[in-house]
Amino acid sequence: MPLNPSRSRAKDRSSILGRPEFLSLNVPPRNNKSWRKAGPSKSQQNQPSENPVEPPDEDCMLLNPSFKGIAINSLLAIDICLSKRLGVCVHTSSSWGSVRSAVTLLALTGHGITWICGTLVCLTQSNTPAGQELLINLLIALILDVLTVAGVQKLVRRKGPWDMSPGFLDCVALDTYSFPAAHASRAAMVSKFLLSHLVLAVPLRVLLVLWAVLVGLSRVLLGQHHLTDMACGFALGFLHFALMETVWLSSGACQTLISIGTFSWGSVH
């Protein structure tokens, strides 16, 4: 009796599907856990998802950066390159390593601890109300400078051009970061203060301005600051001077502060 053609084809198909290489075709896709882990099908991949997953920001690349961003990055790169080239006194083995001690001493003349201690010593030795008024306002300006620069440095947290840890005196004066340059700010403020309130000869005025510039530059030569740190430090120093001129304490207020500090209330009339 001849076999039914449809049955023979079904039998051949079942025998073919029973081979090991075709066993995966007989497994229902819904019950296979590996199928679930493999991911969606091609039809599902072609369908647009409702909530597309965006890559993280660090994996994105700006193909069309703005002109402003290019200009800022270029200026920062130039600043870092020039600052590293000017760091000729970073180590004793540097190109200007033989004068490193002299440059360090020059930078010390613009340190906050040096000026605050020197102002306090002069204040104890001053006997005139005009001198005491000048010294107390200078002391307040120095404290304002130290605190303001330290606050900005803590906010910006910019490192210097060279990997150098701050010294002990820098840590005491809260000068632990690069931007803005504390020495440059202090030198600009002090020089402007003395030029405005002291009668000095022309050579002394020129030397005072030259001292302020060299103090700011000395920290760049020592590798502690960038050029932009020094420039912003000078600008901040002039701002401190303008602010101090606005809140200048009178002679009577200064005498009251001295009486409070020395506990001599009876000497104030």
- Active-site annotation, residues: 183, 225
Sort residue 177 into left (φ over 0), alpha (ψ -120 to 50) or beta: beta
Spatial separation of the C-alpha atoms in residues 23 and 11, rounded to whole Å = 16
Cα 108 to its chain centre, rounded Å, is 22
Q: Which residue has the tokens 């229902």?
A: 28
How crowded is the C-beta side of 190, counted as CA atoms within 13 Å? 28
Specify whether the CB–CB gap between 239 and 180 falls below 8 A. Answer: no
Q: Which two tokens stand for residue 47?
A: 């369908």
Q: Which two tokens stand for residue 226?
A: 């960038």
Residue 208: its H or E element: helix 202-221
Q: Which two tokens stand for residue 59?
A: 């994996």
What is the distance in angstroms between the CA of the first residue and the CA of the last residue of the chain?
Answer: 140
CA distances from 149 to 31, 55, 56, 225 (A): 67, 39, 35, 13
Sort residue 39 into left (φ over 0), alpha (ψ -120 to 50) or beta: left
